[in-house]
Amino acid sequence: MDYKTINCDSVVKKITKKDSLFHGNYCVDPYQNCEFGCHYCDSSFEKTIYVKANVVDILKKELEHIKNGRIIIGSVHDPYQNTEKKFKLTRTILETLKQFNFPCHILTKSPLILRDIDILSQLECMITVSISSLDDQVVRIFEPEVPSPNDRLQTVQALRTQGITAGVALIPILPYIVESEVESIVKAARSVDAQYLLHKHLELKGDQERLFRNLIKAHYPHLLPKYDALYDNDFNPRKEYIQELNNTLSGYCKKFKISDKITI
């Protein structure tokens, strides 16, 4: 993996459509591309991480001229990927949001976020930690560079112990691979005091679709015909499948008394 520092002209992007999943008004990504390289994500193709060296200077200027609203940190690339240990851009962003009194929602897969509990506890913030499976073998195939599912769940518990708003995201749901785990995942989220469990189906687009299908061919070849029928030349699975999946998740969330959406 290569690392390059760059200067950016703008860092705050306004979310133009209603964000019913993460409840954000703006988004900020301190890094471009991601070391975690999850194989269902477009970033898995990239071998260069761009570090936005002037992100805080630009952020301060932009916050002075926008209406207050929730900022999503890590909307595209994980803000607590390994390079954050060295550059600490995410931490300085949090310090800036505290200074300007902006709320935030952090999306991550990394326990590194626990390093910043001191400042998180002073912010109006929520943290969503995503998982794709509880099965280590599945995780090794699709998320080879990501901390273990158990480490991620324990991160949620550590945040909740400190009184910080936190939940779990089962995103994306890998068709015909993870459905059998859904009840266990919801139960696990509840066991670490997650305040919600968000979920969304898998989209397959462009080169990412090719990479993902190659993985299915290598590890689950018997599922290829099912994927062909499920996606049927679309990047979304069939509407009936999505509805059934949503109903199943909602049912388990009701069973284990955990919200299936952000209501905070």
Is position 49 within any domain?
yes
Q: How far is the C-alpha of 24 from the C-alpha of 104, rounded, in Å? A: 8
For the segment 10-27, what is each residue's pLDDT rounded down to a tens digit? 999 999 999 999 999 999
Does residue 264 have a pLDDT over 80?
no
Quick one: angle between helices 239-255 and 182-191, nearest 10? 40
Mean pLDDT, the chain, as a whole number?
A: 95
pLDDT tens digits for range 185-217: 999 999 999 999 999 999 998 888 999 999 999
In a domain, 223, yes or no: yes
Predicted local distance difference test score (pLDDT) of residue 44: 61
User: Does 260 map to a domain?
Assistant: no
% helix / strand / coil in the chain, to the nearest 5? 45, 20, 40
CB atoms within 10 A of CB 46: 17
Stretch 90-112: mean pLDDT: 98
The CATH number of the domain holding residue 191 is 3.20.20.70
Q: Can you give the residue range of the structural domain that contains 187?
A: 2-255
In a domain, 208, yes or no: yes
- Give 45's pLDDT tier (boundaries 50, 70, 90): low
- Residue 82 reports pLDDT greater than 90: yes
Q: Is residue 262 part of a domain?
A: no
**Average pLDDT, stretch 168-192?**
97
Residue 158 included in any domain: yes
Confidence class for position 41, pLDDT limits 50, 70, 90: confident
For the chain, the domain total comes to 1
pLDDT tens profile 121-136:
999 999 999 999 999 9
Residue 264 within a domain: no
pLDDT number for residue 47: 83
Averaged over 25-43, what is the pLDDT?
A: 91
In a domain, 235, yes or no: yes
Residue 259 DSSP one-character state: B
- Please report the pLDDT score of residue 95 as a whole number: 98
